[in-house]
Amino acid sequence: MALLKRRLIDAREEFQANGRGLVRRMLASAGDSGGAPSREEEHALAAVTANGGGAALRGEQLRGGMVSVEKADGRSRAAGATPLLFIAIFVSVALNVALAHLLHRYASHPAASPDKQHDTCVHPDTSREGEAARVGEPKYRSASAPSTGKPAVTQDSVINLDHGDPTMFEAFWRETGDAAEIVIPGWQTMSYFSDVSNVCWFLEPGFDQQVRRLHRTVGNAAVDGYHVLVGTGSTQLFMAALYALSPPNADGAGEPMSVVSTAPYYSSYPAVTDFLQSGLFRWGGDANSFEGDSYIELVCSPNNPDGAIREAALSSDAGKAVHDLAYYWPQYTPITRRADHDIMLFTVSKSTGHAGTRIGWALVKDREVARRMTKFVELNTIGVSKDSQLRAAKVLKAVSDGYDVDEEDERSSSGARHHRLFDFGRRKMVERWSMLRAAAAASGIFSLPEETTGHCNFGDETAANNPAFAWLRCDREDVEDCAGFLRGHKILTRCGSQFGADRRYVRVSMLDRDDAFDFFVRRLASLK
């Protein structure tokens, strides 16, 4: 097709370049056979050559194989001209029509062109040129479909297990039909406000209700007497808590409040605490080496990165604690007690796997702390997406419904009974931890934290701790940087130093899709 196009262009260019000479030759030959060019023939010559041949034909019309030439008075008459002139003009018209047709096809069907190969070399999501070239091309219409996160992996891929992206849960939600679907009409969720009578005025009542219901179902946290606050992820509520618990320091003369956590601590704690260089609070490091009475201690349990069950390390009247219970759910750990701390943070990212919905919540005992945390979210983002809250409410409802089946459902083994998120999650995590431990043993150069067990009140059974991350240590003497060593084998993990720990440790996400996890354990087992 490209060759044909090139030939047509060449032919037209040749015609345009030689048009005057060609027409002259034709006219001359006509003259040879019938005398000097007539005035009409000269007129035609001027018209054909004035604008390179092709465009000059605008004033000409083909009528039954005869060319008529418009006269200045608008009337026309048959040129009664030389056949060669007709042929020349006809060839020119044909070439232009063919070229226009070809260009039209080329513009609207880029896939038909070998130039398309350039497109395939361009990353589909980042190239503006690529996008422009793909407009109207059916093959690429799926570009408007929702994103799916990281691309699928193959045996030789780089396996990225640096982030705790909870795509493992997709398989569960694919099976739940419309249980977690919502439709939001165009006129809904338009106001900034949700419930002006609530201390958290942007909290959707339906989300509040489902949060309380799920905690009652699981028994992992007290909700009676607590304010529910919603945030754009629990990350925003973590910042809101720092703001609410720090003395105002209005004149900037006081010392910022120290924010501490026992190492190894979640790598975002220092990063998020210090990234705006607040005058109110500042990262103070490992809680175990902190000296002083005034602090905010972040207690993550089960802990990110090592899965340990944690209590506050510090105790003082002036000290405050924020309990990050993102992983206190039955798929990761036995639910041994109903937590009832002053401030508890949760997130759909880790409980249901909906990290992209960006919804977290806080259970807060004290009304004034709840008010100040709400103020932070108000100043930061003027509330939290109501669309996301509605979706999160529906997702939480689907989870609770799965465990809220009546006896008839049980007997008929139908309905929601089959869609039990924590059963799915626990099964997966048990399987993955057993695969990982087998791979580490086969390799012989890695060690993992000991498995711990406890009685799970939720499942009423003894259950093991199956953390969302593996805190992997490379025991080989010559490997001081485990993340670097694994990177050399195309496995991306997060270095221990980011958690206030040794570089021989890395944190590995256990929540990726099956294919990535399978390739990871196979590759790990082969490392000696």
Ligand X SMILES: Cc1ncc(COP(=O)(O)O)c(C=O)c1O
Cβ atoms 49, 36 nearer than 8 A: no
Separation of alpha carbons 382 and 368, rounded Å: 19
Closest listed residue to residue 472, CA positions, set 463, 483, 461: 483
The answer to whether 300 contacts ligand X (rule: CB under 6 A) is: yes
Greatest pairwise CA separation for the chain in angstroms:
118
Please identify which residue in 96, 217, 235, 278 interacts with ligand X, judged by CB under 6 A.
235
Binding to ligand X, residues 430-459 (CB under 6 A):
none
- The correct pick among 324, 352, 419, 521 for binding ligand X (CB under 6 A) is 324
Residues from 341 through 370 that contact ligand X (CB under 6 A): 347, 349, 355, 360
Q: Which of the ranges 3-11, 91-99, 228-236, 378-386 carries the binding residues for ligand X, by CB under 6 A?
A: 228-236
Shortest separation between residue 344's beta carbon and ligand X, angstroms: 11
Contacts of residue 349, Cβ cutoff 8 Å, sequence gap at least 6:
164, 166, 233, 234, 326, 355, 360
Measured from the CB atom, is 134 or 350 closer to ligand X? Answer: 350
Of 16, 176, 304, 374, the residue at the interface with ligand X (CB under 6 A) is: 304
Place of tokens 């910042």: 239
Least distance from C-beta 335 to ligand X, angstroms?
17
| CA distances (Å), origin 229, targets 345, 367, 378, 395, 398 | 9, 11, 12, 18, 21
> Of 48 and 429, which has the nearer Cβ to ligand X?
429
Residues with Cβ < 8 Å from 451, sequence gap 6 or more? 433, 437, 464, 465
In the complex, least distance from residue 281 CB atom to ligand X, rounded to whole angstroms: 17
Instruction: Between 172 and 469, name the residue whose CB sits nearer to ligand X.
Output: 469
Q: Name which position in 326, 390, 470, 516 contacts ligand X (CB under 6 A).
A: 326
Cα separation, 268 vs 265, whole angstroms: 8
The SS3 call for residue 177 is coil
Can you tell me which of 234, 351, 493, 498 binds ligand X, judged by CB under 6 A?
234
Alpha-carbon span 269 to 61, nearest angstrom:
78
Beta carbon nearer to ligand X, 30 or 321: 321
Whether the CB-CB separation of 56 and 12 falls below 8 Å is answered with: no
Q: Which residue is nearest to ligand X (CB)?
A: 233
Q: How far is the CB of 147 from ligand X (least distance, A)?
A: 17
Site for ligand X in 108-167 (CB under 6 A): 164
Task: Please give the structure tokens belonging to residue 121.
Answer: 């070399």
Site for ligand X in 168-207 (CB under 6 A): none
- Residues 121 and 131: their CA atoms lie apart, in Å, by 13
* Interface pick for ligand X out of 53, 54, 130, 233 (rule CB under 6 A): 233
Burial of 454 (0-12, 13-18, 19+ CB in 10 A): middle
Comparing CB distances to ligand X, the nearer of 56 and 240 is 240
Closer by beta carbon to ligand X, 386 or else 523: 386
- Report how far residue 346's alpha carbon sits from residue 327's, in angstroms, rounded to the nearest whole number: 8
> What minimum distance in Å lies between the beta carbon of 376 and ligand X?
15
Least distance CB 131 / ligand X (angstroms): 29
Q: How far is the CB of 159 from ligand X (least distance, A)?
A: 18
Residue ranges binding ligand X (CB under 6 A)? 164, 233-235, 266, 300, 304, 324, 326, 347, 349, 355, 360
